[in-house]
Amino acid sequence: MKELEVVKDRDVLFGRILAICDVIGEKIYPNETKLEHRYFDKFIKKPASIYKKILEELMIQNHKFGTTEWNLLHLLDQIIDELGADRFNDEPLKNKYIWGLSKQRHILHSHGYKTRV
């Protein structure tokens, strides 16, 4: 995870956010379409607003959260803090966010978090 910790690029950080939300969604909605697939196009265009929508959707199910989900939410908080208020906005994302999404998903998978294909 050290490699990602040093990356402060806004697009990469938003990519990480989507990957983490997707892993949480997979755990609480195991039989539904992945969040990443449902919100991919919208997230690129308005990342802060769509993140808010995704978070609201996840938090409705917080009664299903275990230690893993709460730990992932804590990681989300850390990333949001890294973004800061000035960069947490709806400016469209550039393609570099895909690297953050893929890298974060790979790291979570390698640490034992289940992900569907």
Which pLDDT tens digit goes with each residue over 10-39? 999 999 999 999 999 988 888 887 777 888
Which residue has tokens 């230690």? 67
Of 94, 82, 73, 110, the residue nearest 5 (C-alpha): 82
116 is a domain residue:
no
Which residue segment(s) compose the domain that 106 sits in?
A: 2-110
Q: Is residue 45 part of a domain?
A: yes
Report d(CA 76, CA 74) in Å as an integer.
5
- Whether residue 8 is contained in a domain is answered as yes
| 28 inside domain | yes
Phi/psi at 92 (5° precision): -55, 150
Amino acid 84: pLDDT? 95
Name the most confidently modeled range: 4-8, 39-43, 50-54.
50-54
Whether residue 37 lies inside any domain: the answer is yes
How many domains would you assign to the chain? 1
Residue among 75, 67, 66 at smallest CA distance from 20: 75
pLDDT at 117: 45
In a domain, 117, yes or no: no
For residue 83, the one-letter residue type is L
Tell me the C-alpha to C-alpha distance, in Å, between residue 47 and each of 3, 10, 19, 68, 88. 23, 11, 13, 24, 8
Work out whether the CA dihedral 85, 21, 66, 28 comes out positive or negative. positive
- Does the reported pTM lie above 0.95? no
